[in-house]
Amino acid sequence: MYEKILLESPLGPRMRIEGKEYDYFCGTSYYCLHGHERLIRAACEAARNYGLGPATGWGVPPLREVERLSSTFFGTPAAKYMVSGYFGNFFLVHALKEEYHVIFVDEVSHYSVFDAIRSVEKPIHPFAHLDPEDLRLKLKGHLGPGQVPLVITDGVFPVTGALAPLRDYVEVLAPYGGILCVDDSHGVGVLGANGRGSLEHWGVEGERCYLAGTLSKAFGGFGGIIPGDEELMERISQNVRVPVGASPPPVPAAAASAEGIRILSEHPELRERLWGNVAYLRGKLRGLGFAVEESPVPIISLRPVGDLDLSEVQKKLMQMGTMVKYVPPRGYSDAPEVGTIRIAVFSEHSREQFDRLVEALRTCL
């Protein structure tokens, strides 16, 4: 599904779209780092110093720097950088394939999760969305004696912003010595005291829990990242051919990603500001009558109240200078059966922008 709107300015809380300025509440650049002066400068300098890339090899400083900075950010001995976050789940399930026998997957996990698990030759059993009790039943029903399960799920679901109950999953998995893999594309940089994502948020960082993240969203850069120990890195190099068989991420994009990691490491107050903005807007939307739960996730999903047509609401908001995304029924991996509005909250949004959005919404009710 291609975006119909054409963005004509660097990413920010106000955007130029087809000649007009809007308050912008779309996408995934939760700190607006894609439009940040420091990232743009880093990308330009890297292009001047190293060109676009080494053409298939990995021997250029910005690529190494991304892995070094990521391992520090995530508090792991190492990290693997790759050309796209979409590949992260593929890397994990292949790297670990000698360690498990059967895969259990949240039924509305991201496309990248399903593409990854279908590429390993293991039985796959979906379990009900966000439901540890159903997972427990599925494990009981499908695991043979001595078999080890791998559970895989999005940490934060991209359309609804729902948080997977990872602590519950870990408890359910424990008696089987199971493995948890999380596609944390929307969690990394945002959740947890240090921004390490969903595993940190739920306090389940550890041996049997793995995450695949992206630098293309909160970090403002480009490419996927898997933090981990040397053993995981070794398993990746043994079982995954992508790093040797495909070109690395473009070097200017790597340099921008490295700068994004530096900014989020140096400025924890950005996370505080984002969480403050999220709490503020969630509260205001509840005040309007929408069922919006308390959560630190900067993705807010509005479901129809009564017979409200949210696709019409989105159009009206646009006429009033506010851009939010309408997601049609089942229009994306985790999109519900009803049309919804997805609001992305940024650390750079002002309270005035939230108030304008809420007032504009009020006129549509």
Ligand X SMILES: Cc1ncc(COP(=O)(O)O)c(C=O)c1O
Q: Which stretch binds ligand X (CB under 6 A): 6-14, 56-64, 83-91, 162-170?
A: 83-91
The single residue among 224, 228, 248, 250 that binds ligand X, judged by CB under 6 A, is 224
Cβ closer to ligand X: 158 or 227? 158
348 interacts with ligand X by CB under 6 A? no
Q: How far from 194 is each of 70, 182, 223, 244, 269, CA to CA, in Å? A: 12, 17, 20, 32, 11
Buried b (16+ CB within 10 A) or exposed e, 54-68: eeeebebebbebbbe
Q: Which stretch binds ligand X (CB under 6 A): 55-63, 65-73, 84-92, 144-152?
A: 84-92
262 interacts with ligand X by CB under 6 A? no
Cβ closer to ligand X: 147 or 295? 295
Q: Which stretch binds ligand X (CB under 6 A): 80-88, 250-258, 282-290, 301-309?
A: 80-88
How many CB atoms sit inside 10 A of residue 285's CB?
A: 19
Q: How far from 136 is each of 101, 106, 172, 207, CA to CA, in Å? A: 16, 12, 6, 21
Helix 88-95 with 111-118: angle, nearest 10 deg: 30
Cβ closer to ligand X: 65 or 154? 154
326 interacts with ligand X by CB under 6 A? no
Radius of gyration of the chain (CA): 21
The single residue among 27, 62, 149, 158 that binds ligand X, judged by CB under 6 A, is 158
| Helical ranges in the chain per DSSP H | 37-50, 61-74, 88-95, 111-118, 132-142, 166-173, 198-202, 230-239, 242-245, 251-266, 268-287, 310-319, 351-364
**Residue, CB closest to ligand X:** 85
Contacting ligand X within 118-157 (CB under 6 A): 154
106 interacts with ligand X by CB under 6 A? no
Phi, psi dihedrals of residue 63, rounded to the nearest 5° = -65, -45
214 interacts with ligand X by CB under 6 A? yes
85 interacts with ligand X by CB under 6 A? yes
Query: Which residues form the interface with ligand X (CB under 6 A)?
Result: 84-86, 110, 112, 154, 158, 183, 185, 214, 216, 224
